[in-house]
Amino acid sequence: MTQMSLPALTTVSAKPSMMSALFGGSSGKTMPRMNEPVPGLAIPDPPVVPATAPHTIVTTLANGAKIASEDTAGASLAVGMYIASGSKNETGFTTGSSHLLERMAFKATMHRTTFRVTREAEVIGANLLASASREQMAYTVDCLKTNLPEAIELLADTVMNPKLHDHEVADVATALKLEMAELAANPANLLMEAVHAVAFEGGLGLPLVATGGALARLDGDTLAHFVSTNYTAPNVVLAASGCGHAELVALAEPLLAQVRIYIQHK
């Protein structure tokens, strides 16, 4: 019986490359067949899996703010600031603030323009994300471990020192109105809003999605009032995965120590 070999696994004579055919010269080394290792190619060892799962370490600062971390393996880290504030904390005057603050995240601060915030995030290759819920606001930064100091400083500034320019608030509110109009066209998108309104009275029953009337009323001063009332130190947790706890505390404590403990009324 004659044994036939697959064409892909047989030795093939080297053919000149397109560049060598056009300009002359050698076609270079012939690569080995698909079932043979590449000479001189060093395959790195896989990362070592820790024998035990990383432990969560929590430090509570004098003003009540908390810093939590897990030193997970890998080249990247995730760090976030979580505020115990959401739509359940809103009043008739501030309703819709959480939803609008989500869209106002990582814009101008007291120390940075919106362009500078974006540029600094691009320089360290960071991914910025903010989300609002009924009980919590979350602001997160994903980047390489080597950029932890920059990520912490940028995160703390954008969360605790938002400028909330009226013109930026108006632009974001206008875009949000268009999104809300599209959602209203399909009632299924607002089903969870209706469920919470029926299940709870006040608090968790308050709307998370900003209404058109709320967006028309909200401005920079109203959002600043909501932030000053709810973004207080006991409501703040800074958590990171992928860094040492001592390093995280050393970087974050001077920034979070400036967060006020009590509600500041304007």
Give me the residue spans of the domains in the chain.
Answer: 65-256
Band (8; pLDDT cuts 50, 70, 90): very low
Mean pLDDT of 143-158: 96
Q: Considering the chain, what is the average pLDDT of its residues? A: 86
pLDDT exceeds cutoff 80 at 167: yes
31 contacts 38 by C-beta, under 8 angstroms: yes
pLDDT tens, position by position, 73-103 = 888 999 999 999 999 999 989 999 999 999 9
What pLDDT score was predicted for residue 245? 96
Paired strand residues for 85? none
* Neighbouring residues of 130: CB distance < 8 A, sequence distance ≥ 6: 101, 102, 105, 106, 137, 138, 139, 140
Which architecture does CATH list for 65-256?
2-Layer Sandwich (3.30)
Mean pLDDT of 235-249: 96
Q: Which of 36, 70, 90, 102 is catalytic?
A: 102
pLDDT exceeds cutoff 60 at 17: no
Band (195; pLDDT cuts 50, 70, 90): confident
Phi, psi of 214 (to 5 degrees): -65, -40
- Of residues 170 and 21, the one with the higher pLDDT is 170
Would you call 129 helix, strand, or coil by DSSP?
A: strand
How far separated are the first and last CA of the chain, in Å rounded? Answer: 94
Band (7; pLDDT cuts 50, 70, 90): very low
- Annotated catalytic, 168? no
Mean pLDDT of 143-149: 95
Band (171; pLDDT cuts 50, 70, 90): very high
Neighbour tally for 243: CB within 10 Å = 20
- Of residues 241 and 189, the one with the higher pLDDT is 241
Band (266; pLDDT cuts 50, 70, 90): very low
